[in-house]
Amino acid sequence: MGFEVIVDYKKSCKDIYLPKTEPSLITLTPIAYAAVKGSGDPNTSKAYKEALELLYGLLYTIKMSKRSDHSFAGYFDYVVPPLEGLWENGGELNDAIDKHQFVWISMIRLPEFIDAQAFDQAVEMLHAKKPKLDVSKLFYKVYEEGLCVQCMHLGSYDDEPATLAKMNAYLEANGYCTDINETRWHHEIYLSDPRKCTSDKLKTVIRHPIRSMKAE
């Protein structure tokens, strides 16, 4: 009897999820996500907490569908990918910023067998299982980041400005600049659970869209 292969994107896509602690460039092709948009301080916002409940609820509904009568075509088992976040004003992180003004999109990568139609089916399954959740907030998002700079940030989220400064210095030295706009946002991937480790042990991928200054 053969062993079932369980896909772990952190291992199969190390360039995306495990960059080094020094800045590097990466070009990303489209990736499909389950997403929820909201605003407010993620540390205190009820909307942010509800977004996480929706996202994890959906991803585990899809994962466990193999045990139900509603499995998806092309299904393969997988490790639920890490939580990710797009932050509209994340490129301006500093000590003075008001976190209550944050606008964010929380999201988790979807396995390749989930297209827009299968996503809607999964949302219906989640609603049937947990009718009190407002599943209307969930949406299917295909995100193509293109050319970016990224870096592994070690430590507290509040210390991110130091890593951003290092990334910006790298860009300037190599002829690039940050290209955050209405469609390309500050991006974070959370590899650690802040409930289970101290802030100095947190691992967070920070990614910024960029453009070449040579063409300007």
Work out how many domains the chain is built from and give that number: 1
User: How many other CB atoms are there within 10 angstroms of residue 200's CB atom?
Assistant: 9
Residue 119: CATH number of its domain: 3.20.80.10
Decide: 24 and 151 in contact? Cβ < 8 Å. Answer: yes
Q: Which two tokens stand for residue 58?
A: 């959906």
Q: How confident is the model over 112-150, as pLDDT tens digits?
A: 999 999 999 999 999 999 999 999 999 999 999 999 999
Cα 110 from Cα 143, distance rounded (Å): 12
Q: How confident is the model over 106-120, as pLDDT tens digits?
A: 999 999 999 999 999
Is residue 4, in this structure, part of any structural domain at all? Answer: no
Decide: 213 and 175 in contact? Cβ < 8 Å. Answer: yes
Report pTM: 0.93
**pLDDT mean across residues, the chain:** 92
More confident residue, 80 or 195: 80
Q: How confident is the model over 80-116, as pLDDT tens digits?
A: 999 999 998 755 655 556 677 889 999 999 999 999 9
Decide: 163 and 153 in contact? Cβ < 8 Å. Answer: yes
Is residue 1, in this structure, part of any structural domain at all? Answer: no
Domain of 167, in residue numbers: 9-212
- Residue 185 pLDDT > 80: yes
